[in-house]
């Protein structure tokens, strides 16, 4: 397939490019380095530096023989995206090109404005570019489990059958996002659902939980092929943060009671899921929603895993509960369905002791590069 990855420089974007090109697909990545720019501007640089997209593609070609085409530009600009689609005419578009940080979206008015305009604008431009050039292509859009929030009923896979006054219908499962970032993903879904209904677009919405880990089949041990390992409050997801904190001797930053439960997955499994969605496309006029995670954990569970791994590796890991800077439920029911990707063939890699110790081992190599000041700044959700 000809595959266009929007946001191909990101934590999941670049590993996806390698995975799909290794599988024989013809891959182009597009990115405007927004994440790198925000990382630099907010002093949230990753644990180690990685090459830019041209350097990544050159390195990948050298070790694998596969080519990834690189296009640098802003997908929020119609001229750029229009030309990109005209040049590549993709069969599949993977859309990761969003500001992905919940805390950043809550930082101040400017950050909120950037998040809203970028995320909605790129989704809208992508829909318009598909319509103009490749109306039958399949769009695989990265959504988030956080769109659903934490309702007191089971979370279904995208849709809910409702019986009301003796009549039945199917609706998108109610959304109740917990940050402006998560809310932009809800708005994306509504925009996509509208154009699926009126134009018959072919769309898969992947409702992904927080991802952890760094090494994939394609990276091997080569840190020049690896993704960003963020441990800062903006871009670091919680398990990656906790592992770096453990290595740095910094008490694990559990927010509030630590009962916040989410669906987690390793980066390897995120790639498996995206590949399965790409190679088994949604039908025309279908908005297929897949809940993308492998296991649920509370924040306390994750802190426990890191503490145990630390003990095995000779680290003294302590935990410190901090007043929660976010507005979220700290004890709640959480039982989301996640059978769609398993039915497509997902082979989950659970968070075993071996997986934990491997990830901690990788981080230990960069112990001296950890900047403790980056770990916590307490971006508040409250006004």
Question: Which residues participate in catalysis according to the annotation?
Answer: 144, 181, 185
| Residue among 144, 227, 272, 292 that touches ligand USQ (CB under 6 A) | 144
Rounded to a whole number of angstroms, the minimum distance from the CB of residue 15 to ligand USQ is 15
Of the two residues 90 and 103, which places its CB atom closer to ligand USQ in the complex? 103
Residue 360's alpha-carbon distances to 237, 308, 312, 313, 315, in angstroms, are 15, 11, 10, 8, 10
180 closest CA partner among 264, 108, 94: 108
Stretch of 17-25, 64-72, 96-104, 337-345 lying at the interface with ligand USQ (CB under 6 A): 96-104
**H or E stretch covering 206:** strand 202-208
Q: How far is residue 100's CA from residue 358's CA, in Å, rounded to a whole number?
A: 26
Q: Quick check: 206 binds ligand USQ (CB under 6 A)?
A: no
What is the secondary structure of 71-98 as a DSSP string?
EES-TTSHHHHHHHHHHH--SEEEE--S
Q: Nearest-5° angle of CA 301, CA 229, CA 12?
A: 90
* Contacts (CB under 6 A) with ligand USQ, residues 26-85: none
Q: Which residue is nearest to ligand USQ (CB)?
A: 146
Q: How far is residue 22's CA from residue 274's CA, in Å, rounded to a whole number?
A: 14
Q: Quick check: 254 binds ligand USQ (CB under 6 A)?
A: yes
| Residue among 36, 275, 326, 338 that touches ligand USQ (CB under 6 A) | 326
Tally Cβ neighbours within 10 Å of residue 109: 7
DSSP summary character for residue 293: -
Q: Quick check: 100 binds ligand USQ (CB under 6 A)?
A: yes
Six-digit token pair at 310?
A: 């630390």
Q: How far is residue 313's CA from residue 359's CA, in Å, rounded to a whole number?
A: 12
Q: How far is residue 120's CA from residue 117's CA, in Å, rounded to a whole number?
A: 6
**H or E stretch covering 289:** strand 286-292
Rounded to a whole number of angstroms, the minimum distance from the CB of residue 199 to ligand USQ is 26
| Residue among 101, 123, 204, 291 that touches ligand USQ (CB under 6 A) | 101
Rounded to a whole number of angstroms, the minimum distance from the CB of residue 299 to ligand USQ is 4
* Contacts (CB under 6 A) with ligand USQ, residues 213-242: 237-238, 241
Stretch of 26-34, 79-87, 142-150, 164-172 lying at the interface with ligand USQ (CB under 6 A): 142-150
Helix (H, G, I), strand (E, B) or coil at 296: strand
Of the two residues 241 and 288, which places its CB atom closer to ligand USQ in the complex? 241
Stretch of 160-168, 250-258, 341-349, 365-373 lying at the interface with ligand USQ (CB under 6 A): 250-258
Stretch of 31-39, 46-54, 144-152, 213-221 lying at the interface with ligand USQ (CB under 6 A): 144-152
Task: Build a one-symbol-per-residue string for 172-191: x at contacts with ligand USQ by CB under 6 A, - elsewhere.
Answer: ----------x---------
Strand arrangement, sheet containing 68-72? 68-72, 26-31, 2-6, 92-95, 138-144, 202-208, 286-292
Please answer whether residues 201 and 127 qualify as being in contact, where contact means their C-beta atoms are separated by less than 8 angstroms.
Answer: yes
Q: Quick check: 102 binds ligand USQ (CB under 6 A)?
A: yes
**H or E stretch covering 117:** helix 109-133
Phi first, then psi, for residue 311 (nearest 5°) are -60, -40
Of the two residues 91 and 295, which places its CB atom closer to ligand USQ in the complex? 295
Q: Quick check: 295 binds ligand USQ (CB under 6 A)?
A: no
Of the two residues 129 and 211, which places its CB atom closer to ligand USQ in the complex? 211
Of the two residues 122 and 129, which places its CB atom closer to ligand USQ in the complex? 122
Of the two residues 215 and 254, which places its CB atom closer to ligand USQ in the complex? 254
Q: Where do contacts with ligand USQ occur on this chain (CB under 6 A)? A: 100-102, 144-146, 182, 208-210, 237-238, 241, 253-255, 260, 262, 299, 326, 328
């Amino acid at each position: 397939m000809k595959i266009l990855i929007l946001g191909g420089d990101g934590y999941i974007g670049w590993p996806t490019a390698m995975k799909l090109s290794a599988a024989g697909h013809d891959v182009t990545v597009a990115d405007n380095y927004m994440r790198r720019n925000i990382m630099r501007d907010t002093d949230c640089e990753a644990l180690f530096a990685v090459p830019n997209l041209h350097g990544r593609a050159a390195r990948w070609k050298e070790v694998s023989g596969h080519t990834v085409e690189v296009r640098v530009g802003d997908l929020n600009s119609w001229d750029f995206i229009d030309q990109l689609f005209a040049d590549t005419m993709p069969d599949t578009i993977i859309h990761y090109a969003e500001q992905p940080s919940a805390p950043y979206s809550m930082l101040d008015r400017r950050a909120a404005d950037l998040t809203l305009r970028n995320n909605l604008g790129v989704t809208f431009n992508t829909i318009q570019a598909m319509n103009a050039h490749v109306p039958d292509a399949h769009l695989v859009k990265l959504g988030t489990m956080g769109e659903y929030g934490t309702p007191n009923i089971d979370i279904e896979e995208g849709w809910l059958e409702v019986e009301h006054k003796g009549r039945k219908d199917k609706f998108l499962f109610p959304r109740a996002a917990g940050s402006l970032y998560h809310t932009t993903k809800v708005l994306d879904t509504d925009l996509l659902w509208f154009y699926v209904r009126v134009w018959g677009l072919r769309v898969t919405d992947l409702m992904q939980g927080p991802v952890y880990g760094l090494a994939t089949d394609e990276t091997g041990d080569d840190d020049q092929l690896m993704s960003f390992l963020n441990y800062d409050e903006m871009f670091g997801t919680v398990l990656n943060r906790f592992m770096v904190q453990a290595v740095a001797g910094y008490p694990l930053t559990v927010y509030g009671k630590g009962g916040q439960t989410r669906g987690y997955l390793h980066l390897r499994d995120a790639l498996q899921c995206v590949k399965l969605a790409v190679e088994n496309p949604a039908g025309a006029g279908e908005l297929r929603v897949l809940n993308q995670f492998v296991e649920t954990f509370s924040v306390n569970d994750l802190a426990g895993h890191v503490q145990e791994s630390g003990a095995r590796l000779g680290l003294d890991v302590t935990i410190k509960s901090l007043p929660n800077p976010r507005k979220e439920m700290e004890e709640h029911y959480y039982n989301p369905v996640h059978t769609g990707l398993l039915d497509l063939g997902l082979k989950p890699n659970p968070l075993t002791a071996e997986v934990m110790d491997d990830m901690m081992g990788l981080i230990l190599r960069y112990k001296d590069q950890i900047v403790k000041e980056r770990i916590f700044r307490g971006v508040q959700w409250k006004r």
